[in-house]
């Protein structure tokens, strides 16, 4: 099983700042099988990025993903008030899923 | 539009079983695996397993092997997840989800296990 470790656990930032979230895999993951989700309280997760760097339908271009092998990042270029939430990375190789433990982006 | 509509919240006693349904519309049901993911209160996302609606093939996370059953009825585009021998730590919101690149998710079903 591929284990995903996200860091930091919590990121305290102000609106307008840049957020960089990290996801490290226990073994190499093809970038085509890496996704990022956003989740707000009481809501289902929302797909942001798939294939490590492709934005899902309707996702603003301030969200970008990158990385390869075992190290992946999600960048939010300028935080908007609605971006404060929990973010999860996910790998879906062979359509067998695992998730990271999440990074909470909170208002400083 | 794509919809995954799950059955309602349930309260169960320890040792009981629960079955959650996920009725889909707006996409070809057999076009994607259907996955089940759960989230305990205040915790992260945990993948439970998946089904290929085309042939009924399933894969389960090792943690749930022997206790979970996922099946589907293609005639009504609906998937089901049954969890047996419930414990208090099975209290969680259970989600169905399809398509890693489109991100189709149900609204979630709260299952509470309590005596």
Beta strands across the sheet bearing A19-25: A4-7, A19-25, A71-76, A63-68
From B44, B100, B106, residue closest to A99, measured CB to CB: B44
Q: From chain A, which residues contact B within 8 Å (Cβ)?
A: 1, 33, 35, 37, 39, 44-47, 50-51, 54, 56-57, 88, 90, 92, 95-102
Q: What is the pLDDT of residue A46?
A: 98
Residue B95 · residue B36 · CB < 8 Å: yes
Partner-chain contact B103 A47, CB within 8 Å: yes
Q: What is the pLDDT of residue B100?
A: 86
- Structure tokens that stand for B9 in this block: 């919240």
Between CA A85 and CA B39 the distance in angstroms is 16
**Alpha-carbon gap: A57 to the closest alpha carbon of chain B (Å):** 7
Q: Which positions of chain A have pLDDT values less than 70?
A: none
Residue B43 neighbours by CB distance under 10 Å: 12
Parallel, antiparallel or unpaired: strands B109-113 and B10-12: parallel
- Residues A5-22: tens digit of each pLDDT: 999 999 999 999 999 999
């Amino acid at each position: 099983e591929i284990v995903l470790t996200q860091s930091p656990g919590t990121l305290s930032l102000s609106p307008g700042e840049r957020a960089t979230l990290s996801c490290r895999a226990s073994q190499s993951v093809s970038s085509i099988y890496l996704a990022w989700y956003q989740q707000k309280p009481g809501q289902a997760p929302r797909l942001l990025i798939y294939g490590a760097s492709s934005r899902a339908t309707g996702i603003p271009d301030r969200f970008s993903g990158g990385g390869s092998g075992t190290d992946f990042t999600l960048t939010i270029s300028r935080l908007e008030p609605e971006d404060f939430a929990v973010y999860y990375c996910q790998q879906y190789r062979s359509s067998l899923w695992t998730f990271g433990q999440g990074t909470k982006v909170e208002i400083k | 539009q794509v919809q995954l509509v799950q059955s309602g919240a349930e309260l169960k006693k320890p040792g009981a079983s629960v079955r959650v349904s996920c009725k889909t519309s707006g996409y070809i049901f057999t076009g994607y695996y259907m996955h089940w993911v759960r989230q305990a209160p205040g915790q992260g996302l945990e993948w439970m397993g998946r089904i290929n609606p085309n042939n009924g093939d399933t894969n389960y996370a090792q943690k749930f092997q022997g206790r979970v059953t996922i099946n589907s009825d293609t005639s009504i585009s609906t998937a089901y997840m049954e969890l047996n021998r419930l414990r208090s730590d099975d209290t969680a919101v259970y989600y169905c989800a399809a398509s890693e690149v489109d991100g189709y998710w149900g609204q979630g079903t709260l299952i509470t296990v309590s005596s």
